[in-house]
Structure 1
Amino acid sequence: MEHITLLIGIVIVTALVFDFTNGFHDTANAMATTISTGALAPRAAVAMSAVLNLLGAFLSVEVAKTISSGIIDEGSGVQPEVIFAGLVGAIIWNLLTWLAGLPSSSSHALMGGLIGATIAAVGTGAVNGDVVVMKVLIPALAAPLVAGIASLCATRLTYRVARDADEGRTAKGYRAGQITSAALVSLAHGTNDAQKTMGVITLALVTGGVLAPDSDPPVWVIASAGLAIALGTYLGGWRIIRTMGKGITDIQPPQGFAAQTSAAATILASSHIGFSLSTTHVCSGAVMGSGLGRKGSVVRWSTAGRMVIGWALTLPAAGAVAAGAALLAEQGDWGVATVAVLTVAACGAIWLRSRRTPVDHTNVNDVEETAGTQPAEAPVPAPAAASPAVGEPEPAGVVTTAMRAVAPPPPPAGVALGAEGAAQEETPSAPSRPASAGSLS
């Protein structure tokens, strides 16, 4: 530790910040379905996930080796500032997709950042293309398909086995199954994603001459990475939890159990063989598969399409930001300081923007009012005296909500007067609705 320079220290701190964003960005992977079905309260769910992420960080170092000595050639002249720039690209992309509530891959953001910064600073020869293809791109394409098919089959099997069982009697069992499977996903997330930060820190220590090439992560690196991702997980990425738990499909407890079990099995298997798998791709594919597996369920393909576009943009977008940061950081100490200041400013701006529409554990499941359906229903026909704010896509007020709950939607404006007179003749005892009621919207 005494040989760590200031620059390597900055890289280590930045890597832990990325690990923190990875934690709250990917909390949805383990807990979105559990929270959406009510199997666990939101706060209890993220607390359990945080503890298991920490434990999972100590189970394996295979993925860390892939990051530290697989994707980037350690002997190609890569310097710590290049790794710093790669982390900056990953952090910015993580925060942007979190702001949009988009379940994108933190893993691919990190890979894209490292690759983009390395190409900008050293050249394409420093990137091990065969490793990228075999252990990053192919798993990225295969993982959601494998998890989705497994989840589809598991969902159908679950409903078939329990088709004659009493729903009330099986509810408790499904709840326990969901909690258990969510725990497995959290543990798997710790074994896979926490190791990526371990690998980055180890790579920085190797390039800085602190560790020998091909070294395993030191214990302090494992512990710090595990604590950082656990803290981020506990804070909860509520925006992404909302999208994955309610935005893709309406999940019932049997579906949640099947999706999480399929995802956990896929992630644990990939960690065992050293694939740097995206837990987001796996869990999203499993949720889609569970939606296809239940008869009568609807998968919201518009949301799924946005997610796939985000997945496709992750590697190049993070790489482009990292490449620009690398070119600036290579100018010397002032370049590194400038990149650090710009990164802090960007993170602050994203956080301030998120405060305009806060999402937390109290409203994480309130999708119908915020996920895009309200704007289509908000413009209610009203008399000419109505307020000009009637058609704006804002949440309905208290008075409007109460009136809609006890009265049918108003008729078109052209027949409003005739319909009102007929309604008063048929129900003389009912209180009439004044024409100005529409202005209360």
Structure 2
Amino acid sequence: MPDRPAILTKRTLDKDLDKLTHVEDATKFVTRKLVAPGLGLIFLGLAMLFAGVYVFDRPSAVLVVAAAALAAYMALNIGANDVTNNVGAAVGARAMTMGQALVIAAIFEVLGATIAGGDVVKTISSSIVDTVQVPPATLSWIMMAALMAAALWINLATWLNAPVSTTHAIVGAVIGAGVGAVGPEPVNWRVMIEITSAWVTSPLLGGVIAAGLLFLVKTFIIYRDDKIAAARRWVPVLIGMMIGGFTSYMVVQLETANEFSSLTIFVLGLAAGCLGWFGGRVFVRRQAAGLENRNSSLRILFQIPLISSAALLSFAHGANDVSNAVGPLSAIVRNVGASPDAAGDNPPVWVLLIGALGISVGLLLFGPRLIRLVGDQITKLNPMRAYCVVLSTAFTVIVASSLGLPVSTTHIAVGAVFGVGFFREWYTRHSKRRIAYVRRKAESWAIDEPEDPNTHEVRRRYLVRRSHFMTIIAAWVITVPASAALAAMIYWVMFALFV
């Protein structure tokens, strides 16, 4: 009987080593998930240090530093939840990668917040609650409670994969904390009616503008026999509209002495739009060289305009939504006299920087998950539809921001998406141009019985997911009372502990 080879290894030891390997892999997996929260905590510490440099020798420096930490936390949550609306359409249309979207949005969010974010900050910091009727110490704690409540609510929504309105959250929180502190009298209900009406009308306006843009694209570009020639004619017009609108907005934001009349601002925007149209003609002509007469070629021509409009929307979002993070902080700084440049209505630059950088950091650390949700799950987007959504949202936010109204970018973007989707349904059923185009193409392809363009199957493909509509309405209804109630409770706890 041959001798068996000696077993030199111990199976028990091998099993133990395998267990250690699995533990190491699990540890790496867990720690990878902790990287983003750890970097977020580091940013909060840097924000406190940054604020401390400006206010360390001022009264109530500790209160201001704590408020800066809460504002930075709020900004992180805005970046994680709200900025997804700016680039989600472009990512969903595959016009840019996730990495490109994050970098572009982060840069233009900072620019928009620091250059044009002052007007809406003033609305949040001083117009919702009448600062004259509230004692200075009470006002500071109201704003602290509002910041914490809104940030916690948005953090919970982000964890649940629910894109909610950060504007609704902070406005509701300011009202709830104010009512919890001194009752309903100091709340400026007239301003609240204006803000609420903007919440209702802005999604409708975004949907109408987006539908109008898509009507232009479908009528004058897509359903034409020579698509490339039509695109060479009309895509530069869309580029000029984008540049002209953005220029007018910048003039409104940058002039400080009312030196320009409305007519002058319009003329400047029109001139910039004409220059953009001329440059767009050169660009589109070069891009269109050698392209086939197909819809896939149109996607190539719309790619750069879509990326540019997403950058514009990020700028507009930074200008409008930075107020959600630093509006209460600006009120605290001005209230306690903790900054030499906080005496006027304009917020200090360092306050805007905390909000701007916080939004960008939150987007980079926590944004990709909701970007995929917004870009892929509401409706199917291609570059043409996404361009209409993004440009419509940008124009609506720009108009609201120039009027000093803190509107919800989330609801405007979703309103634009639904506007595009519902218009596609109507256009599919009722457009004589589309029906004639489809039948003409079918005849040219020698199809004996072309499919009726109004069949149930064709209509079904163009439906927007109605379930998201109810989800958004529910989030809209719940966010304001939930953040208000949470802010009131937090104020009472803060008052009991610290006052």
What secondary structure, in the 3-state scheme, does the structure 2 residue paired with 1:276 have? coil
Deviation at 1:125, TM superposition (A): 1.2
Matched, 1:195 2:323: yes
Q: Residues 198-230 of structure 1, C-alpha deviation per residue, up to 9 Å, x if partnerless? A: 322110112324366653111211222211111
Q: Residues 72-117 of structure 1, C-alpha deviation per residue, up to 9 Å, x if partnerless? A: 1112123322211111110121012212222210011011111111
Count of aligned residue pairs for this structure pair: 333
Query: What amino acid maps onto 1:141 in structure 2?
Result: V
Query: What amino acid maps onto 1:10 in structure 2?
Result: A
Cα distance in structure 1, aligned partners of 2:187 and 2:334: 16
Identify the range of structure 1 (291-300 vs 19-28) with the bigger mean alpha-carbon deviation: 291-300
Query: Where does residue 28 of structure 1 map in the other structure?
Result: 84
After TM superposition, the score normalised by the length of structure 2 is 0.64
Query: Where does residue 245 of structure 1 map in the other structure?
Result: 375
Matched, 1:49 2:105: yes
Query: Where does residue 122 of structure 1 map in the other structure?
Result: 182
Cα distance in structure 1, aligned partners of 2:297 and 2:206: 28
Say which of 401, 407, 417 aligns to 1:277: 407
Structure with the greater alpha carbon radius of gyration: 2
What secondary structure, in the 3-state scheme, does the structure 1 residue paired with 2:414 have? helix
Cα distance in structure 1, aligned partners of 2:78 and 2:152: 11
Query: Where does residue 466 of structure 2 map in the other structure?
Result: 301
1:77-88 equivalences under 5 Å are 77=135, 78-88=138-148
**Which structure shows the bigger proportion of residues in helix conformation?**
2
Matched, 1:287 2:417: yes
Cα distance in structure 1, aligned partners of 2:372 and 2:96: 15
Query: What amino acid maps onto 1:146 in structure 2?
Result: L
Q: Residues 6-40 of structure 1, C-alpha deviation per residue, up to 9 Å, x if partnerless? A: 12221121011101111111121101111111100
Say which of 193, 203, 223 aligns to 1:144: 203
Query: What amino acid maps onto 1:205 in structure 2?
Result: V
Cα distance in structure 2, aligned partners of 1:327 and 1:38: 48
Cα distance in structure 2, aligned partners of 1:237 and 1:289: 25
1:127-206 equivalences under 5 Å are 127-134=187-194, 136-162=195-221, 163-164=223-224, 165=227, 166-206=294-334
Deviation at 1:145, TM superposition (A): 0.5
Identify the range of structure 1 (232-241 vs 209-218) with the bigger mean alpha-carbon deviation: 209-218
Cα distance in structure 2, aligned partners of 1:215 and 1:153: 38
Matched, 1:66 2:113: no
Query: What amino acid maps onto 2:413 in structure 1?
Result: C
What secondary structure, in the 3-state scheme, does the structure 1 residue paired with 2:338 have? coil
Deviation at 1:54, TM superposition (A): 0.3
Cα distance in structure 1, aligned partners of 2:83 and 2:325: 16
Q: Is the 8 A contact 1:46 1:235 kept in 2?
A: no
Q: Is the 8 A contact 2:143 2:174 kept in 1?
A: yes
Q: Residues 260-295 of structure 1, C-alpha deviation per residue, up to 9 Å, x if partnerless? A: 010000001111111111111111111111112223
Query: Where does residue 100 of structure 1 map in the other structure?
Result: 160
Calculate the aligned-residue CA RMSD, in Å: 1.6
Q: Is the 8 A contact 1:8 1:80 kept in 2?
A: no
Deviation at 1:240, TM superposition (A): 2.7
Cα distance in structure 1, aligned partners of 2:164 and 2:354: 24
Q: Residues 106-139 of structure 1, C-alpha deviation per residue, up to 9 Å, x if partnerless? A: 01101111111111111111211111111x2011
Q: Residues 15-74 of structure 1, C-alpha deviation per residue, up to 9 Å, x if partnerless? A: 111011111111211011111111000111011100000011122211011111111111
Query: What amino acid maps onto 1:317 in structure 2?
Result: A
Cα distance in structure 1, aligned partners of 2:489 and 2:343: 27
Matched, 1:39 2:95: yes
Query: Where does residue 219 of structure 1 map in the other structure?
Result: 349
Q: Residues 348-371 of structure 1, C-alpha deviation per residue, up to 9 Å, x if partnerless? A: xxxxxxxxxxxxxxxxxxxxxxxx
Cα distance in structure 2, aligned partners of 1:329 and 1:50: 34
Deviation at 1:236, TM superposition (A): 4.3
What secondary structure, in the 3-state scheme, does the structure 2 residue paired with 1:59 have? helix
Q: Residues 238-277 of structure 1, C-alpha deviation per residue, up to 9 Å, x if partnerless? A: 3432332222211122110101010000001111111111
